[in-house]
Amino acid sequence: MIFLIVQIPFFLHSQEKGTLKFDLDVGFRNYQMDELNQRINDTSYIESFLYEELIDVSINKGIGFGLFATYQPFKLFNLGLYGSFQSGLAERDLRVILYQFDPFTSNDTLIGKRTNEVYSMIFGITSEFLIHNLDFWKHSTFLSRIESTVKLNGGYSKAKMFWSDQFLVNNNTIKRIYKSNGFHLAASLKLGFTILKNPIFSNIGFSMGYQYLQTSNLQSVEGAFFPEESNKTNLDFSGITAGLYLTVGK
């Protein structure tokens, strides 16, 4: 990925028009974290007897970024590499009551925040079917300024889940990290408008699709399963995707 970024200035000045391009996208991600949401609200694992209030939280959406580099060897198809990042977050306010056995001593209350964060880094192969290169599309005065493609992605993901408790009284943070991995598949429809043609071409537009990414069971660095061996949990980033993209190429 670093190599591709470094080579951008070279590619943009290539003499083969329309054969190389770079896409940058950012957008909304919908997740299906049913197992994880169940675990982070399960009173068996969060010592709910210490909390005065316990409100369910969930991770069901997030934000994602992607960088795509493609080469177009055929009129209607291109092929390339992509890297993407996506995340999600759930936070819960904590009020931990420290009960005192001495009847003449008042109980202490610790105010804090529990945070569950999930991340996924993906690298893989991407390809597009270039609808806008069909003859009827190119010969239309209106459609010729619109980019339309169907994008397919397939890659490998490394994912993490961070579980942390932070208390205000001493700014103490308890943090645990769990890892997993899985295969990523995605399909999307892109519609964009040409904003620049010379000396390079540039398009900006909207994309919408669906991704599948269900990881293996979460494990700590030491190999312990989350939350325990008999009740394992995976991450499921599968869901609808939607966002904006910017294309540059030559």
Q: What is the pLDDT of residue 4?
A: 39
Domain definitions of the chain by residue range: 20-249
Q: State the DSSP string of the chain.
A: -HHHHHTHHHHHT-SSTTSEEEEEEEEEEE---HHHHHHHT-TTTTTGGGBS--------EEEEEEEEEEE--SSSEEEEEEEEEEEEEEEEEEEEEE--SSTTSPPEEEEEEEEEEEEEEEEEEEEEEEGGGSHHHHT-TTGGGEEEEEEEEEEEEEEEEEEEEEETTTTEEEEEEEEEEEEEEEEEEEEEEEEE-SSSEEEEEEEEEEEE-EEEE-EETTSPBSEETTEE-EEE--EEEEEEEEEEE-
For the whole model, what pTM was predicted? 0.83
Length of the chain, in residues? 250
Distance, in Å, from the CA atom of 224 to the CA atom of 179, rounded to the nearest integer, reads: 10
- So what's the pLDDT on residue 72? 94
Give the end-to-end CA distance of the chain in Å, rounded to a whole number: 19
Q: Which one-letter amino acid corresponds to residue 103?
A: P
Burial of 91 (C-beta count, 10 Å sphere; 0-12/13-18/19+) = exposed
β-pairing, 172-196 with 219-220? antiparallel
**Mean pLDDT score of the chain:** 86
Q: Candidates 2.60.40.10, 2.40.160.20, 1.10.3720.10, 2.40.30.110; correct CATH number of 20-249?
A: 2.40.160.20
Higher pLDDT, 31 or 42: 31
How far apart CA 146 and CA 137 sit, in angstroms, is 9
The pLDDT > 90 percentage for the chain reads: 58
pLDDT tens, residue by residue, 194-244 = 888 888 888 999 999 999 999 999 999 899 999 888 889 999 999 999 999
Reduce the secondary structure of 55-100 to three states and give it as a string: CCCCCCEEEEEEEEEEECCCCCEEEEEEEEEEEEEEEEEEEEEECC
Which amino acid is it at 45? Y
How confident is the model over 170-193, as pLDDT tens digits? 677 778 999 999 999 999 999 999
Q: What is the pLDDT of residues 4-15, one digit of tens each?
A: 333 333 333 333
| Per-residue confidence (pLDDT) for residue 13, from 0 to 100 | 35
Q: What is the pLDDT of residues 63-117, one digit of tens each?
A: 999 999 999 999 999 999 999 999 999 998 877 777 777 777 676 777 788 899 9
Nearest partner of 61 among 198, 200, 240, judged by Cα: 240
Residue carrying structure tokens 């992607």:
66
